[in-house]
A and B are shown apart, each in its own frame.
Chain A
Amino acid sequence: MKTNKRLIPGFGISMGITLALLSIMVLIPLASLVVFTAKMDLSDIIKVITRPRVVASFEVSLLTSFIASVINAVMGVILAWVLVRYDFPGKRILDGMIELPFALPTAVAGISLTSLYADTGWIGGLFADMGIKIAYTRVGITIALIFIGIPFVVRTVQPVLEKIDPLYEEAAGILGASRTRIFRKVILPELRPAVFTGFGLAFGRCLGEYGSVVFIAGNQPYETEITPLIIMSELQEYDYPSATAIALVMLAAAFLILFLVNLIQIGNSKILKGGH
């Protein structure tokens, strides 16, 4: 393909600008993380990340992110189904609204959810009467993470659902399959990779989320303190080695999730391109 390079002009300049900006914005900052880590002792890193308070924050972050992402996976399939298969007034508005968590600054979402779910809030008040506290508990964190993760599963499942020909369901129906059976045997196998992809993306996003959670979390050590918040407080105390050590664990988790999502994505793109 050498002729290709010669034919269309601009390879040198576009590649040059791409690499220059990429270096300044991404590579050099990342390199400084690597350099800083290299100067630290492995035993120090392990000492930091096995502190009870840090371990507790891992548990809080993983647990709340997982529950929020499971709820979003279920709701995401329902929402995608409703948006693809049904026609009803206001559908376009509903479809546009899905993207709101991307457009609304996380801090605004955070304070708004906090006052909504506090004991004096509209929703929190209802639950407070029953003796259930939402804001400043792990439930509150989970709700903030559900908010953040809504678009992911919907937007990965939607295009796959659009590709599935209803003919197969009709065929299954005529052959006598019940609706739940059709969904389980015909539709779900096609959707599964997309659901897992969306789940993985949402889960990754939830683990790193900060803005919407800090207000509603209450930030009690061991109880409602998420990992990004611990990094933040280490930074405010100028304890850069501790912050970096904890950040490395989070980065490892993020890359693991990304790797798994990519594995699934390969299967998914086969379905999308396989052309039914």
Chain B
Amino acid sequence: MAAENAEKTAPVISREGSTEIHAKTAGSKAVKIILITVSVLFLFVMLVMPLITVIYEAFRKGLAPYLEAISDPDTVSALLLTLEATVIAVVINTVFGLFAAWAISKFRFHGKKVLVTLIDLPVTVSPIIAGLIFVLTFGRQSVIYPFLESIDFMVVYAVPGIILATVFVTFPFISREILPVLDAQGTDEEEAAALMGAKGFTIFRRITLPHIKWALMYGIVLCAARAMGEFGAVSVLSGHLRGKTVTLPLQVEILFGDNKFMPAFAVSSILVVLAILILIVRSIVEYVGKRKKGENSQS
């Protein structure tokens, strides 16, 4: 009797169930529209409007004043210094990232966790504190200051300080991207190659590099982005000597502080364009990297 009842009512229940699900999807459509609208509005107000502001303010007096502002000798020298610091930071951190990731992922040793924590340390401290520790290391009250003075090598309020600060704040950027890829890949392929007699560099170039190519490029992009935009740490070590120790972000600060708003935004617009380029490159690298990964796992 009960079984018969169940049989009879079963289709009814499922029909009811399905209408319920329909009602839910209709309801969730409203939720979907609300959530997407909230997200788009939030990002528009918080991210897009600041960008529009920069471009609008930069060009509000027309093209000629804009060109004049960005071809100002101080601005050009700031751009060159920013590029110099960025290139050096990328080179040093790439070298470091490759060797560190190789050492950490391919070998076992004591203190690995401590090493990884220390490498990550620079991004966890405030940029101002990053600047402070270099001032304490190389500044006037430091024990090595007399020596630095004797060889006429100034770090604080000089270009080397700016470069050190830039390298410091971007220190883990490349190793952090490569390390998870190398960890996931394991050591089998390298061991096989070594057993067959391949030399270290050959193993790296033929086996390891193809695996980490995209992670490496992504790391370089992130590192470059952060390096050219670093403000706090560089600000501590710069001394703001115009035309000498001023990077683009510091130039923005100086102009803004002098109430030269239009030139400040004009210089900012260079950095905005670079930032958008970096985001585009990032998306491409991520997209291609994911597709390559998909192909690899399929084959």
Contacts and interface: CB of A to CB of B under 8 A. Distances in A.
Contact of A18 (B99, B222, B250): B99
Interface in B137-183: 137, 139-142, 164, 167-168, 171
B137 A208 contact: no
Interface string A2-43: 001101111101110110011001111110110010000000
Interface in B176-220: 187, 190-191, 194-195, 199-200, 203-204
A102 B136 contact: no
B142 A86 contact: no
Contact of A235 (B42, B115, B127, B132): B132
A251 B121 CA distance: 11
Contact of A122 (B49, B54, B115, B200): B49
Interface residues of A, number: 82
A98 B248 CA distance: 24
Interface in A186-242: 204, 207-211, 215, 228, 231-232, 235, 238, 240
B132 A247 contact: yes
A149 to B, nearest CB: 10
Nearest to B233: A210
B256 A215 contact: yes
A32 B142 contact: yes
Interface in B45-93: 45-51, 53-54, 57, 92
A127 interface: no
Interface in B236-267: 236, 248-250, 252-253, 256, 261, 264-265
A113 B52 CA distance: 11
A150 interface: yes
A109 B126 contact: no
| Best-buried of B28, B43, B187 by chain A (most CB within 10 Å) | B43
A22 B118 contact: yes
Contacts of A5: 107-108
B275 A103 contact: yes
Nearest to B250: A107
B24 interface: yes
B6 interface: no
Nearest to A234: B132
Interface in B80-122: 92, 95-96, 99-100, 102-104, 106-109, 115, 118-119, 121-122
B279 A36 contact: no
B271 A208 contact: no
A99 interface: yes
A79 B42 contact: yes
B119 to A, nearest CB: 7
Contact of B271 (A30, A96, A104, A228): A104
Given A1-B108, A108-B252, A100 B129 contact: no
A215 B99 CA distance: 40
B283 interface: yes
A100 B194 CA distance: 43
B143 to A, nearest CB: 8
A75 interface: yes
A97 interface: yes
B21 interface: yes
Given A26-B119, A33-B136, 10 more contacts: A22-B96, A96-B283, A97-B279, A112-B53, A112-B54, A112-B57, A116-B50, A116-B53, A210-B231, A235-B131
Interface of B: 17, 21, 24, 27-28, 31-32, 35-36, 38-40, 42-43, 45-51, 53-54, 57, 92, 95-96, 99-100, 102-104, 106-109, 115, 118-119, 121-122, 124-129, 131-137, 139-142, 164, 167-168, 171, 187, 190-191, 194-195, 199-200, 203-204, 222, 225-226, 228-232, 235-236, 248-250, 252-253, 256, 261, 264-265, 268, 271-272, 275-276, 278-280, 282-283
Interface of A: 1, 4-5, 7-11, 13-15, 17-18, 21-22, 25-30, 32-33, 36, 75, 78-79, 81-82, 86, 88, 92, 94, 96-109, 111-113, 115-116, 121-123, 146-147, 150, 173-174, 179, 204, 207-211, 215, 228, 231-232, 235, 238, 240, 243-244, 247, 250-251, 254-255, 258
11 contacts: A8-B190, A14-B103, A17-B100, A22-B118, A32-B136, A81-B35, A105-B252, A107-B268, A112-B50, A232-B128, A235-B135
Which 4 residue pairs are nearest across A and B when measured between Cβ atoms? A208-B126, A105-B229, A211-B231, A9-B200
